[in-house]
Structure 1
């Protein structure tokens, strides 16, 4: 691939659709490491920030220091308002499987600008939640070919082999939420679109600024999934685009020929949950009415938490009423031996039966990939 991409080039005519008001994250500051600025993509990201008038600090060293502090709430707020331009370390080029979503995960960035009160990154990433965008994009994308055909989730599965080798790009970030500042997602979509192999790029987003992606030559090798939840859960999703904007972006992406998906997560045992999730699925069906050649999947993910993530989340959001009572959950061990708290089996079974039946009724085109 070539060097730094343009912000929004049009490789083909974009699909027509209604314009929507979308949220664009504007960090209070950008930190640029010397190593990041050795890369054309790092310099391009810096130029984007400067063009938006965002204060930029060119660091003398590659280490991000002084991001914590004695007040965890203040440290959280400052970190969440910071974008750091860094270089992905060598460990990031040793890809890990990411079942049940995809064969492999790779990272364009780490950290997310949203303020979701159930954020799973709270238990996955250490230190202040700064968003780090990686400048060595050529190396990250060039590394993927070595994993072609080696996965066990899709490329090694009879049920999903038609998806090819799948690469998940949103495990540790929301790449669309920072795309206006990085351009990394557009570059990845072009890379997969030009890759003559049975491959698929996958990412999930809670944002709706989809327009820069609509005209790209994706060749249907990128599946854009929108993370959605029942409307009563909106209070837990600060700093994101609302459900209607996300569903509008879902329609626009589908009209532009992208395979699309719904990631319904985290499924919560809220009051009158059956009616709430029925409403969500009907709204999604309405958004996709009349889309030709629709390629739609659904991924259903129930709410779970660990003791560590609970502690972090309650420190970040002390006033939240997110249900984190271990007493009404089932205690399970992960494959790594750590503890997590999940919905109890009767609740899990009832929700699974209801949601899958609702999808079959109102979204019959959708393939449910998994329930977890």
Structure 2
């Protein structure tokens, strides 16, 4: 673990360092705010392993605390951390975050949360949506991180849940996770203003998600959260038409229904996200996982341009149409109360 000079001015940084040290991690107090020595230069895979095993406690700058829209998920994105300790072979952060894939956690969480009020009612996703207006102004905390995966060290997610629970306004904290240890969240006064979504996939595709909780444990955790009064959701991603995909996704929704059975006043959403990649992310991921069997064949995809003019490769329209029809029908059959927020 690395702790920058600026971070050491915040009590949270020392608390994180103490927790890490208690678990046997080496804690290095840096003389300045630069993160160096994170690439050995041997190979992309070796550099990846070194960086993935490194957590740095830093301070979110004013620029980092300036919120950005995050369609189609939420009105605004804010970050408690950047990076993720998991090893997903289709990780979208590979094309989104520059530099070595270390996990940066922010020491100035109170400052980050204190700036959210300025964005109340200002969004264009849920704040301005007739169908999703009931969610209020939504704030996504897992765009560039899986905050639950590091919660045992940071305590930042519990702080955010409690903050939103006290915030007497039409707001919602949202985050997605692939981890199952939800015990730090179960006793919190969340006020119904947090929606926790489990990132899930058909069983045959979980093998691409190294270092994460097993699917059954994720679904069990979602059930515990629902019984603790949280709004919950399924982030089904990245959807792929592998062999037996129809049966695989039907089995996924059947298992989710069992895990959520009996939850009182269940408030359940589903977000359906298909696999896509960019030339940049493909290159990075193949460097990180040279033996991966993940399909990233441009010849099997359609080429699209993003709103920024960059290229991404998605499934052909006919495949997308078929998958959407099958998955929404399976959801309606197995989880009829689930509200599908979007397909992309």
TM-score, length basis structure 2? 0.99
> Which residue does the alignment assign to 2:241?
269
Shift of 1:54: 1.2
> Which residue does the alignment assign to 1:77?
49
> Which residue does the alignment assign to 1:5?
none
SS of 1:341's partner is strand
Instruction: Output aligned runs, 1:161-240, within 5 Å.
Output: 161-240=133-212
> Which residue does the alignment assign to 2:14?
43
Confirm or deny: 8 A CA contact 1:359 1:366 kept in the other structure: yes
1:54 is aligned, of 25, 30, 33, to: 25
CA deviations 1:336-370 (Å, max 9, x no partner) are 00000001011000000010011011101100000
Confirm or deny: 8 A CA contact 1:68 1:127 kept in the other structure: no
1:104 is aligned, of 71, 76, 80, to: 76
Distance 1:267 1:317 in 2: 20
> Which residue does the alignment assign to 2:326?
354
For the pair 1:67 / 2:60, whether they are aligned, the reply is no
Distance 1:65 1:122 in 2: 19
Confirm or deny: 8 A CA contact 1:305 1:341 kept in the other structure: yes
Shift of 1:52: 1.8
Provide the aligned length of Structure 1 versus Structure 2.
Answer: 343
Moved over 3 A (4+): none
SS of 1:227's partner is strand
Of structures 1 and 2, the one scoring higher in RCO (CA 8 A, sep 6+) is 1
Confirm or deny: 8 A CA contact 1:49 1:181 kept in the other structure: yes
SS of 1:132's partner is strand
CA deviations 1:260-318 (Å, max 9, x no partner) are 00000000110111111111111111111111100000000000000000000000001
Distance 1:206 1:257 in 2: 20
CA deviations 1:137-169 (Å, max 9, x no partner) are 111000100000000000111110110000000
Instruction: Output aligned runs, 1:1-372, within 5 Å.
Output: 30-70=1-41, 71-372=43-344
Shift of 1:53: 2.3
Distance 2:165 2:206 in 1: 34
**CA-atom RMSD in angstroms:** 0.7
Confirm or deny: 8 A CA contact 1:113 1:239 kept in the other structure: yes
Confirm or deny: 8 A CA contact 1:110 1:172 kept in the other structure: yes
Confirm or deny: 8 A CA contact 1:99 1:153 kept in the other structure: yes
Distance 2:241 2:14 in 1: 46
Distance 2:229 2:46 in 1: 43
Distance 1:259 1:111 in 2: 25
SS of 1:112's partner is coil
SS of 2:309's partner is coil
Unaligned residue ranges in structure 1 (runs of 5+)? 1-29
Confirm or deny: 8 A CA contact 1:76 1:128 kept in the other structure: yes
SS of 1:298's partner is strand
SS of 1:304's partner is coil
SS of 1:154's partner is coil
Shift of 1:248: 0.5
Shift of 1:51: 2.1
